[in-house]
Structure 1
Amino acid sequence: MTTDRRTAILEGAARVIARRGVRGLRVEELAAEAGVSTALVYYHFKDRAGILRHTLEFISDRAERYTADEEGPTGPFDPRQELERSMLLEFQDRPEVRENSTAWGELRASAVFEPELRSELARAGLTWVHEVAALLGQACPQVPAPVLTASAERLTALLEGLSTRWLSGALSSARARELMRDAVAVEIGHLARRWAVPEDASRYGGHP
């Protein structure tokens, strides 16, 4: 029961942040959204900073669960397919995905004014970059780690920018996925050519 209520509070916090932004988060409104008392919110998270920190962790974990157990039509994806899939599935027209992406964007934007969030956001962002770099490394095993990290930073930064445009209605989900797919192909094709990865670069969207 305690775990269920804690989860309900975090789910409520994600909804409130997505709807009203970090500055609009009030413990009283959060308690009402989660169906608990304000005392219980403080019991689990101590203060507003604790709520924000744990909500960031919650939405990061929830994003990882979008496709955690999915496989391709004939079995598991190869590394390149897995990378593309993980990027494209951030542009799903599902309420949970849109809420998660909106809340992440609000948390990142708020770090301009709330320095206490910066280290947590940096940590979460670095974890994401490392996950993307690991997939790039499986697709292009001869590429040095620092180069993979730089490539992952470009891809994740682009995804965040495309996500903002998608959520605001400036891009359709189909167009956002198309642009993201092209970016993955360009990055892997560039790495394959520059570092003489033995696989055919055209397989990864490269050009001779």
Structure 2
Amino acid sequence: MKDRKTAILKAAARVIAHHGVRGLRVEELAAEAHVSKPLVYYHFGDRAGLLRHTLRFIGDRAERYTAAQDAAAEDPAQELQHRLLLELRDTPEVRENSTAWGELRASAVFEPELREELARASHEWVREIADLLGRVDPTAPAPALVCAAERLTVLLEGLSTRWLIGLVPAGHAAELMRGAIEAEVEGLDLGSLEPRTACAVTVVAV
């Protein structure tokens, strides 16, 4: 039963990446996953439930492929760079994941039921990057770490979108990201806490 649920989620991510959220039809999804339509409803209740679980599946899948690479990192700075640059890796899995994430994020403008799950996933991602930044510079204050992490993840989402639609080559997007990481790490040493506090509070309040 678990394998069928995973098959449905994989199919949902694939359909959303290619046709968008509005192009997701339960009948077509069931056919894509080689399951019955009632089974889709059995696992996810309704279309909104399916979308929420698909978003979580996409996040978990990204966590798995980044964690596999992070294991090879020699130090926190290298792990931080790996974690962020892997989202710009030109592989079918990353392309599908990033495209589906972008489609779900855009659809949340019109489908409020997705916003809570998106907020949770974004909050966790910012916290993970903030924790890595804290390992790079253990003396940096927590608000500065959270703000730096928020800026990096927001930039990465924008670069990923531009790369996916062909506006920016993957190599150039990676170079821009490396420059941003370097700037944020250097900025942690400045000790200017006041401008960063409001940003950190905004993220914590999600």
Tell me whether the two structures share a fold, i.e. TM-score over 0.5.
yes
Aligned to 1:171: 168
Q: Shift of the alpha carbon at 1:155?
A: 0.3
2:69 & 2:108 partners in 1: Cα distance?
A: 33
Identify the residue that residue 16 of structure 2 maps to in structure 1.
17
* Alpha-carbon shift at residue 76 of structure 1 (Å): 3.7
Whole-Å Cα distance in 2 between the matches of residues 125 and 71 of structure 1?
20
1:186 aligns with 2:186: no
After TM superposition, the structure 1 = structure 2 runs for residues 1-208 of structure 1, keeping only pairs within 5 Å, are 2-70=1-69, 76-194=73-191
Letter in 1 for 2:19: R
Deviation per residue, 1:138-183 (Å, 9 max, x gap): 1111111111111100000000000000000001111111100110
For 1:29, give the aligned amino acid: E
Give SS of 1:7's match. helix
Partner of 1:205: none
What is the RMSD of the two structures over their aligned residues, measured on CA atoms? 1.3
Deviation at 1:80, TM superposition (A): 1.0
TM superposition shift of 1:71: 5.7
Tell me, which stretches of 5 or more residues in structure 2 are unaligned? Answer: 193-206
- Structure 1 distance, partners of 2:19, 2:143, is 38
User: Per-residue CA shift, 1:49-75, capped at 9, x if unaligned?
Assistant: 110010011000000111323367xx6
Paired residues, what number? 192
Question: Post-superposition shift, 1:84?
Answer: 0.7
TM-score with structure 2 length normalisation?
A: 0.90
Distance 1:30 1:94, change over 3 A: same
Query: Which stretches in structure 1 are left out of the alignment for 5+ residues?
Result: 196-208
**Mapped partners of 2:191, 2:147: distance in 1:** 14
Identify if the C-alpha distance between structure 1 residues 71 and 128 changes in structure 2 by more than 3 Å, giving closer, same or farther. Answer: closer
Highest relative contact order (Cα 8 Å, sep 6+), 1 or 2? 2
Q: Which amino acid aligns with 2:97?
A: N
- Where has structure 1 moved over 6 Å in runs of 4 or more? none
Amino acid corresponding to residue 179 of structure 1 in structure 2: L
Distance verdict in 2 for CA 1:71–1:21, change over 3 Å = closer
